[in-house]
Amino acid sequence: MSALSDSGFEEDLHTSPAAASSVRLTSDLQECDYEESCFIIQRHNELQFLAQNCLARQPQITAEARSKLVSWLIAVHKQLKLSFESCCLAVNIMDRFLITTSVAADCFQLLGVTSLLIATKQVEVYSPRITQLLSLCCNSFSREQLCNLECLILLRLNFRLAAPTLAFFLDYFTSRTTGYQTDGAMDKMVTTQDRNVWKEPEKKWKWLACKVCELSLADYTFNKYMPSVIVLYNNAGSSQSLESFCFQEYPTFEAQLLFQQCTEDLKLLVSLNQDAVQDFLSL
């Protein structure tokens, strides 16, 4: 069993089923700084936390219902001034729970806010109050229901909560491309009223990258892609170096086909939301 840790990065790699892979990973980590080490470990863990086809066994939950709930969670995380990491982790927790347990349609929103509460306990300094979260659901659920579901989620996920997320890889790749880490700055930038902020091309591009990540988070089409794949191609247009980096990290033919498919899906996603993008670019 993996050792417990606060950050989630100190997994006991030597007990992994892929022993040879763990040895190579340990060797790679010895040559990296902290930021690169975190990236390598999270890349190594991605498949373990991928909630692919999470609605396959859900008779009452549709892709449209999931999209609406995730879009609502994105709005809630901004209203509560939570980090994008909390939002991404909440969606991952929710999706992985959907793989294990059938959920009734009238309890789906409760699953969303409970997942958000668990995520904030992992990420934020202070979590939202339960009463605050329940009020956002028009008090349709009780405190006891939320707490019982929280316990059930933790048990079904075996307390494995430190999932690699879109937010993590977005921070990594933007810092790699520009030397600038978001650290929650995206959420602050989105709400600012200072139009001069958006005149800086670098910051405008970062906001667009974050916006596309939000859109992909709510779109069930991207449920099958690893977060690093989505973020890498989301950022690829900003730097040719990321293209070469892609081939280093994902050298197989199958991986390249996956990237090509992800790229086409991202282009379609942006085109379907072109009005929102154009409104922003006109600032």
| Averaged confidence pLDDT in the chain | 77
126 vs 172, more confident: 126
Tens of pLDDT, residues 129-163: 999 999 999 999 999 999 999 999 999 999 999 89
Every domain of the chain and the residues it spans:
50-157, 166-179+198-282
Among the residue ranges 76-90, 108-122, 205-219, the one predicted with the least confidence is: 205-219
Quickly state the pLDDT bin for 26 (edges 50, 70, 90).
low
Q: What is the CATH number of domain 50-157?
A: 1.10.472.10
pTM score of the predicted model: 0.77
Residue with tokens 């379609």: 268
- Going from the C-alpha of 154 to that of each of 93, 100, 146, 158, 173, the distances in angstroms are 9, 12, 12, 6, 30
Quickly state the pLDDT bin for 267 (edges 50, 70, 90).
confident
